[in-house]
Amino acid sequence: MQWWCFAREGAWTWAWQPIPGVWAFVLSLGLVYHLRSRHWHQEAPGPGGLSLGWRKASFYGGVLLLWVSLDWPIGPLGAGYLASVHMLQFVLVGVVAPALLLVGIPEAGYRSLPGRRFYPFLRQLTHPVSAFVVFNVIMTISHWPGLVDRLMPTQLGSFVMDLSWMFAGLVLWFPVIAPVPHGKSLHPLYKIGYLALNAFLIRPPFAMMIFSAHPIYEIYELAPPVGGVDPLADQQLGGAIMKIGTAWAMGAGVVAAFFDWRRAEEGGRVGGA
Amino acid sequence: MLGRAANTLAGLALLSATSCQPAAEGPAAEGRTSARSAASSYRGTLLPDPIQKPDFVLPDTRDRPFDFQARTRGFVTLLFFGYTSCPDVCPVHLANLGLVLAKLPPEVRTQINVVFITTDPDTDTPERMKEWLAGFHPDFIGLRGTLDEVNEIQGRLGLPHAVVVKSDEGHTVGHSSAILAFTKDGLAHLRYPFGIRQADWAHDLPRLVQEDWVDS
Note the pLDDT of residue B215: 55
Q: Which of A110-124, A232-246, B80-94 shows the lowest mean pLDDT across its residues?
A: A110-124
Using the Cβ of B99 and the Cβ atoms of chain A, whether some distance falls under 8 Å is answered with yes
Using the Cβ of A230 and the Cβ atoms of chain B, whether some distance falls under 8 Å is answered with yes
- Classify residue A110 by its DSSP letter: H
Using the Cβ of B45 and the Cβ atoms of chain A, whether some distance falls under 8 Å is answered with no
CB contact under 8 A, A224 and B197: no
Using the predicted structure, report yes or no on whether residue B214 has a pLDDT greater than 80.
no
- For B198, the closest of A215, A224, A228 (CB atoms) is A215
Q: What are the tens digits of pLDDT across the range A48-68?
A: 568 889 999 999 999 999 999
Note the pLDDT of residue B38: 40
Using the Cβ of B80 and the Cβ atoms of chain A, whether some distance falls under 8 Å is answered with no
C-alpha pair distances (Å), B214 with each of B38, B54, B75, B182, B211: 18, 22, 17, 15, 8
Say if strands B179-182 and B76-82 run parallel, antiparallel, or are unpaired: antiparallel
Cβ–Cβ under 8 Å, residues B83 and B173 = yes
Sort out which chain B residues have CB atoms less than 8 A from A232's CB and list them: 99, 198
For A222, the closest chain B residue by CA position comes to B92
Using the Cβ of A213 and the Cβ atoms of chain B, whether some distance falls under 8 Å is answered with yes
| Residues near B85 by beta carbon (within 8 Å), at least 6 away in sequence | B120, B123, B124, B170
Q: What are the tens digits of pLDDT across the range A164-207?
A: 999 999 999 999 998 876 666 788 999 999 999 999 998 999 99
Sort out which chain A residues have CB atoms less than 8 A from B102's CB and list them: none
Note the pLDDT of residue B14: 37
**Closest CA relative to residue A94, chosen from A26, A201, A173, A202:** A173
Note the pLDDT of residue B1: 36
Q: Tell me the pLDDT of chain A averaged across its residues.
A: 91
Q: Average of pLDDT values for A20-43?
A: 91
As a whole number of angstroms, the distance between CA A103 and CA A252 comes to: 13
Cα Dmax for chain B: 53
pLDDT band at A46 (very low <50, low <70, confident <90, very high): low
Note the pLDDT of residue B46: 94
Best residue in A9, A214, A218 for a mutation probing chain B (most B CBs within 10 Å) = A214
As a whole number of angstroms, the distance between CA B157 and CA B155 comes to: 5
Within a 10 A sphere around the Cβ of A79, how many other Cβ atoms?
27
Q: What are the tens digits of pLDDT across the range B46-73?
A: 999 999 999 999 999 999 999 999 999 9
pLDDT band at A45 (very low <50, low <70, confident <90, very high): low
Give the distance from CA B62 to its chain's centroid: 20
pLDDT band at A108 (very low <50, low <70, confident <90, very high): confident
Using the predicted structure, report yes or no on whether residue A44 has a pLDDT greater than 60.
no
Strands of the B45-52 sheet, one edge to the other: B45-52, B187-192, B179-182, B76-82, B112-118, B141-143
For A13, the closest chain B residue by CA position comes to B87
Number of H helices and E strands in chain A, helices first, is 14, 0
Best residue in A219, A220, A222 for a mutation probing chain B (most B CBs within 10 Å) = A222
Q: Which of A246-250, B34-38, B88-92, B207-211 shows the lowest mean pLDDT across its residues?
A: B34-38
Phi and psi torsions of A187, nearest 5°: -60, 135
Sort out which chain B residues have CB atoms less than 8 A from A11's CB and list them: 87-88
As a whole number of angstroms, the distance between CA A56 and CA A62 comes to: 10
Q: Which of A1-5, A44-48, B76-80 has the highest mean pLDDT?
A: B76-80
- Determine the 3-state secondary structure of A130 from DSSP: helix
Q: What are the tens digits of pLDDT across the range B160-207?
A: 999 999 888 788 999 999 999 999 999 999 999 999 999 999 999 999
Sign of torsion over alpha carbons A96, A98, A101, A103: negative
Give the type of residue at A63.
V
> Structure pTM?
0.87
Q: Tell me the pLDDT of chain B averaged across its residues.
A: 84
CB contact under 8 A, B198 and A221: yes
Using the predicted structure, report yes or no on whether residue A269 has a pLDDT greater than 90.
no
Q: What are the tens digits of pLDDT across the range B89-129?
A: 999 999 999 999 999 999 999 999 999 999 999 999 999 99
Cβ–Cβ under 8 Å, residues B137 and B101 = yes
| Residues near A154 by beta carbon (within 8 Å), at least 6 away in sequence | A6
CB contact under 8 A, A221 and B197: yes
Using the predicted structure, report yes or no on whether residue B4 has a pLDDT greater than 60.
no
Give B192 to chain A, closest Cα distance, Å.
14
As a whole number of angstroms, the distance between CA B34 and CA B30 comes to: 6
C-alpha pair distances (Å), A98 with each of A92, A115, B151: 8, 20, 57
Using the predicted structure, report yes or no on whether residue B27 has a pLDDT greater than 70.
no
Q: What are the tens digits of pLDDT across the range A112-146?
A: 777 777 888 888 999 999 999 999 999 999 999 99
- β-bridge mates for residue B180, sequence order: B79, B191
Give the distance from CA A62 to its chain's centroid: 9
As a whole number of angstroms, the distance between CA B87 and CA A224 comes to: 7
As a whole number of angstroms, the distance between CA B79 and CA B158 comes to: 13
Sort out which chain B residues have CB atoms less than 8 A from A223's CB and list them: 92
As a whole number of angstroms, the distance between CA A179 and CA A104 comes to: 12
CB contact under 8 A, B87 and A213: no
Say if strands B179-182 and B187-192 run parallel, antiparallel, or are unpaired: antiparallel
- β-bridge mates for residue B98, sequence order: none
